[in-house]
Structure 1
């Protein structure tokens, strides 16, 4: 399988072999999170972008931290806003996890980005994470005036588990009739708890995220629901039967990602439901490739596509 990896991405894949030694069990998660934090690259400070934090109350009266990125320059017009959800298999990750990407989106799109510090499993299984994300989304819409946000330009995005939350949140906002979204960007999303596609069976171990790790992540996230036939689409978006009425969607996945086939099925169902969707399949790319090797040409192309997709979605609103 490694022979199929893009040569530029192979060294970073081999450098991540220690990640595969993690034993994803509930009792091990605190230690794994500490190790992951030590592996994180320090955030890059950008003088053009101001980062602040806001604490709001979650559905369960829990403290919910939001990390807000906006341009330092005062622009007269109301800004578009993108709610960002970090990845980590529903069990890992932090609100600061994607500082670099969020900062770049703010700089190049001239929008506000809000990253939500949703609760993690197994301490907080479904529906804690999705309800935290909905609380953050509702807070943005409810406070659009004070935030100087254009309510006609609200988008949501995230990668991996954050992509799964994005896809689920899009369904939830549609079904609760609030707020209205103009865009969603679930990047290589974790959306199918059944974990039985051909691509998940191809990637049984290694490759950053695989069938074994995926099973552990879903088991911790779904808790008592895991293995039952009654999984809500707001937990696993692949379970949805109706994809109509969702906003313009951009998504992508690597060809060597265990989520390849669930992403392909998702894109097909969106298109069949009349949702405008743009999709990119990256050959030779594994899960999270653009994060593990940011200097590879394929990684640069991928991130540029993310940013252009956000920009296009907000501009699309103006053309209606």
Structure 2
């Protein structure tokens, strides 16, 4: 146990997450845990944010959306596609609703969350294509939503961060939607991490090596770490990182993904992509659950401030 490396403010959160150790390493079990957490979470009281539930055509049927719009936002507001986490095998717009509402309020904009399909029932590239369809809908609905097409970005958490990174690669390659920003929050970028030797304290809490193996193999539909894996599934495999939007890499010093996150950020910088990196010291995967702690408030403030600068939000 690497508890001595954890910020004291997060010790109680470590205890809360201890229950995960008894959960079977399989998708349905994780889904039940995340759904239970979402159902018992206190409501996010932001009267200045309007919530809508919509449906749009997707690549393989309708895709459900939750849309959060800040009251009093400028007529041409920033638009964010927020992509929830869950290891590619779990999670939903509801599980990340509180953060989406907070983003809409802080950025005085419109935040769209898609109910993308999950692995193993729908492996890659299905979830990414759902997210692309949601991004395209956001872009093409800019007049109705009151969004400035020059200020559209993506924000993804964990597996959602991996999807956000892949989405930026896909949007660049298809040439339909110019993105202004990508915020990658401890993104799940590289299936090869499953086989890498890492310090024991990387992934000691919450998202462990066992869960990572489960998530990647469900998403890929085969063993992780093989040679023939698309960079749209595992963005760290992309050879060309040019022409991507300004990036913030927000990760944590005890996260299993720290190494792959830092490597990706370094490659972006070497390519000339404006990239800002923030490593929350003494923090681990999903540490933002402890929303009232100073470490979380400071980390979130850095993300909001960066997004305001990049999207020119006054």
1:238 aligned partner: 236
Q: Compared with structure 1, are the counterparts of its residues 31 and 213 closer, same or farther at alpha carbon in structure 2 (3 Å cutoff)?
A: closer
1:279 aligned partner: 277
Q: Compared with structure 1, are the counterparts of its residues 205 and 174 closer, same or farther at alpha carbon in structure 2 (3 Å cutoff)?
A: closer
Name structure 1 gaps, 5 residues minimum. none
Computed over aligned residues only, the root mean square deviation of the Cα atoms, in angstroms, reads 1.7
1:300 aligned partner: 297
How far, CA to CA, are the matches of 2:29 and 2:200 in structure 1? 29
Instruction: Tell me whether 1:309 sits opposite 2:310 in the alignment.
Output: no
How far, CA to CA, are the matches of 2:90 and 2:201 in structure 1? 20
How far, CA to CA, are the matches of 2:145 and 2:223 in structure 1? 38
How far, CA to CA, are the matches of 2:64 and 2:45 in structure 1? 20
Q: How does 1:1-320 map to 2 (within 5 A)?
A: 1-25=2-26, 29-40=27-38, 41-60=41-60, 62-73=61-72, 75=73, 77-195=75-193, 196-199=195-198, 201-203=199-201, 206-224=204-222, 226-291=224-289, 293-315=290-312
How far, CA to CA, are the matches of 2:32 and 2:280 in structure 1? 31
**Residue deviations 1:137-171 (CA, integer Å, cap 9, x gap):** 11111221222211111100111111111111010
How far, CA to CA, are the matches of 1:76 and 1:296 in structure 2? 31
State the SS of the aligned residue for 2:267: helix
* TM-score, with length taken from structure 2: 0.94
Q: Compared with structure 1, are the counterparts of its residues 204 and 23 closer, same or farther at alpha carbon in structure 2 (3 Å cutoff)?
A: farther
Name structure 2 gaps, 5 residues minimum. none
How far, CA to CA, are the matches of 1:118 and 1:307 in structure 2? 25
Aligned length: 310
* TM-score, with length taken from structure 1: 0.92
State the SS of the aligned residue for 2:183: strand
Which region of structure 1 is more displaced relative to structure 2, 29-38 or 208-217?
29-38
Q: Is the 8 A contact 2:202 2:255 kept in 1?
A: no
Q: Compared with structure 1, are the counterparts of its residues 153 and 204 closer, same or farther at alpha carbon in structure 2 (3 Å cutoff)?
A: closer
